[in-house]
Every structure is written in C-alpha cells, then in structure tokens.
Amino acid sequence: MFKKMMAKLGKGSAQVDLVLFQAEVPLGGQVKGELVLKGGAVEQVINKVEVELYFELKTKDNKTITHLIAVIPYQASFLIQPGQQRVVPFELPIPEDLLVTSPSASYYLTTHLDIQSGIDSSDRDEIIVTPSFDLMQALLAFEQLGFQEHSSSRLFNGVTQEFIFSPTTFLLDKLERMSFIVALDPDQIRLLLTLHIHSFFGMNEKHHEIILPLSLLEDLGKCKSYLQHTLFELVEGKEQKKNSSPKSSFVGAMGKFVNDLVREFDPRKK
C-alpha cells in the first residue's frame, strides 16, 4: 500500500527514456531509436505514450517561438509490471522543408508517459537537423572552391534560411561575398544567389538562380566544375540573361513555413 501511494506521488513510478541511435539527421532522413519503458515499484496502468517533435526559433528581437511539428502516438492503454522493461522501436521522418539547425533554429523531442492515477513521466532529447545529401554536396563544392561559410550563415532572414559565404582564393579580388537560399525539389535543388561584386563604381549586387540536378550532385568533381564556371561567368557578366525569382516568391524555399509561423506570432504583420 505504501509503495502504491508513493508511486502516485511519482516516487518509484514507471519511467520512459527515448534512446536515439544518432542525434544528427539530414533533411528528408529519419530519426531512429528505441523507447525504453521501465516499470516502477508497483504495477501501473499506462494510458498512452507520445513523442512530440518541437521546433524552436530565436528571432532578431530576442523572442523565442516554439512550434509543435508532429505528434507520434505509441500503443493504447497497457499494464506494466514492477521492474518490467519494454523496448519499442522508434522512427520519425524529417520533412525536407525544415530549416537546418543553426544558432537561431533548434529541434527537440519530448516523450510523455501518461500514467493512470499517477504522476506522468517525460523525457527530452535534442536533435540536430543537417543539410540533405544533395545540399551537402553543393556546400562541399563551394568549400572546395575556397569559399568559407560566415558565422552568420544559416540564420532565418525573415523569409527563409540564408547561407552566406566569402571567397578565400577563387574570385577573391572580384567578389566580396555570396549568399543564397535553397529550394529542394524531387529531382534537383535550386539556389537563388545574391553576389556582391566589386566594380569600378563600387559594389554591384547581382541575383541569379542556379539549378543543380541530382545527377550532377552525385559527382562532387563535376558539381565543383559547374559551379566554378557558372560563378566566373556571373562575376564577369557573361551569363545568359534570365529572370530570377525574388526571395519572397522563391517557390519551395527551404524552411519557408517559418515565415508563416513568424507572422502568426508578430502582431505587426497581422
């Protein structure tokens, strides 16, 4: 009787622990692990187990916005015996339109164990969302061309996530910096570039959309050569003229859902 009373107060009660096989997951990948349920000092009824994925954004005015992305329910009501351990496989797909983890964007999982007539148990685990394989290939190609990513890169710019690079060798005397936003399509990725180019009259800003088919991204050497040729022509003004979408209407931009989220919490935009 004493043990049952203490379990209702949370002492010796059942516990839950989400064990992740890997804390890092790419866009479009899966978080995998196990839910470990441990019985307490007495028999208890578990009403339900839920895992929730949360996104947290720090805005420019030092506000924190927390948004629930997904809820994954596990099992209906069941009985867990004293000291019993149950292990349940865990998988969660990560959408491709999220932001990658950065100083302003983070993700975590909370696991809730709903205990009948007792104090519920919970667990929190941080996860790191990294670029997809295809986007990582493009970033590596820029790196191999001598571009260095800024500390302010990958921040949310009010519309989507922006990557910022500076040249260290290639185009060093012609280009101040380069930034771009990303759209991930089924068979390609698109980069909307903004180039800050040195000119006789000062700084010239140029916008251009680059399309990188997945077949090109599979070969890092070919991707590097293509970007090198494209950037050289852009800086020299030899590219074929075409219209580029402005950032605010760049269809499919990675993390664009955050723009609507910020509007929801910003009374100035209502």
- In the Cβ-directed half-sphere of 131, how many Cα atoms lie within 13 Å? 17
Distance CA 134, CA 216 (A): 9
Q: Do 117 and 140 belong to one domain?
A: no
Residue 178 has φ and ψ, to the nearest 5°, of -135, 135
Please report the pLDDT score of residue 259 as a whole number: 59
Distance CA 121, CA 117 (A): 12
> Where does the pLDDT of residue 247 fall: very low under 50, low under 70, confident under 90, or very high at 90 and above?
low
Q: Do 236 and 178 belong to one domain?
A: yes
| Token representation of residue 218 | 């599979």
Percentage of the chain with pLDDT > 90?
50
Residue 178 maps to a domain: yes
Please report the pLDDT score of residue 1 as a whole number: 40
C-beta of residue 23 within 8 angstroms of C-beta of residue 125? yes
Which of 109, 130, 151 terminates a domain? The answer is 130
Please report the pLDDT score of residue 105 as a whole number: 92
Q: Do 91 and 148 belong to one domain?
A: no
Residue 265 maps to a domain: no
Q: What is the pLDDT of residues 81-116, one digit of tens each?
A: 898 898 989 999 998 888 999 988 999 999 998 887
Please report the pLDDT score of residue 251 as a whole number: 59
Please report the pLDDT score of residue 257 as a whole number: 60
Q: Do 243 and 203 belong to one domain?
A: yes
Which of 130, 162, 185 terminates a domain? The answer is 130
Q: Do 143 and 250 belong to one domain?
A: yes
| Token representation of residue 109 | 């999982």
**51 CB neighbour count, 10 Å cutoff:** 22
Q: What is the mean pLDDT of residues 138-142?
A: 97
Residue 24 maps to a domain: yes
Residue 176 belongs to a domain with what CATH number?
A: 3.40.1000
Q: Do 125 and 141 belong to one domain?
A: no
Q: Do 110 and 163 belong to one domain?
A: no
Q: Do 84 and 152 belong to one domain?
A: no
Q: What is the mean pLDDT of residues 117-142?
A: 88
Distances (CA, A) of 9 to 41, 50, 217: 12, 21, 56
Residue 113 maps to a domain: yes
Q: Taking 90 as the threshold, does the pLDDT of residue 190 lie above it?
A: yes
Distance CA 138, CA 121 (A): 43
Please report the pLDDT score of residue 155 as a whole number: 87
Give the type of residue at 210. I
Please report the pLDDT score of residue 126 as a whole number: 95
Q: Do 78 and 160 belong to one domain?
A: no
Q: Do 20 and 45 belong to one domain?
A: yes
Which of 76, 106, 130 terminates a domain? The answer is 130
Number of separate domains in the chain: 2
Residue 268 maps to a domain: no
Q: What is the pLDDT of residues 213-222, one digit of tens each?
A: 999 999 999 9
Residue 124 belongs to a domain with what CATH number?
A: 2.60.40.640
Q: Which range of residues forms the domain containing residue 222?
A: 133-258
Beta-carbon contacts of 254 under 8 Å, excluding residues fewer than 6 positions away, are 27, 96, 97, 98, 99, 100, 135, 160, 161, 181, 182, 183, 184
Q: Do 177 and 71 belong to one domain?
A: no
Distance CA 50, CA 120 (A): 12
User: pTM higher than 0.85 for the full model?
Assistant: no
Residue 264 maps to a domain: no
Q: Taking 60 as the threshold, does the pLDDT of residue 119 lie above it?
A: no
Answer with the residue of higher pLDDT: 248 or 176: 176
Q: Taking 90 as the threshold, does the pLDDT of residue 165 lie above it?
A: yes
Residue 254 maps to a domain: yes
State the Cα torsion 38-41-42-44 to the nearest 10°.
-30
